[in-house]
Amino acid sequence: MEDTSIRISYEREFKMDEVERKYPYDYFMQGLFHQDIENFYTEREIETAKKQVEIESYMLQNGMLHGQEKEIVNYNIQKIAENVVPWWEETDAWKLSELLEKNNLFI
């Protein structure tokens, strides 16, 4: 998970830099494309979190986890139920995505 997160972070930064190279003095266009990139990666991370917690819950139900692993999975399940991506710090991603969607910031 950590390697994927780092790779996605570098990919996001690369796309941001690419936009800045393409529109060096057009800050309006940079802002629009940066927002689109952020929205895309936010949605991607939300979907990844949901899938990961779903897999973890199946592992928990089938007795494949022990000790501290159970506690971590229970915590992750609880955070997903609260609409928070477990490995984000105090971020309510679903409310953020709803706000962005309500303001038509998704393409």
Give DSSP secondary structure letters for 5-59: HHHHHHHHHHHHHHHHHHSSS-HHHHHHHHHHHHHHHHHHHHHHHHHHHHHHHHH
User: What count of other Cβ atoms lies within 10 Å of the Cβ of residue 22?
Assistant: 11
Is 19 or 4 the better-scoring residue by pLDDT?
A: 19
Over residues 33-54, mean pLDDT: 84
Rounded to two decimals, the pTM is: 0.59
Please, are residues 76 and 68 in contact by the beta-carbon 8 Å criterion? no
Q: In this structure, what DSSP letter does residue 88 have?
A: S
If pLDDT is split at 50, 70 and 90, which confidence band does 74 have? confident
What are the Cα distances from residue 101, in Å, to 40, 50, 94, 104?
Answer: 12, 19, 10, 5
Check pLDDT > 50 for residue 107.
Answer: no
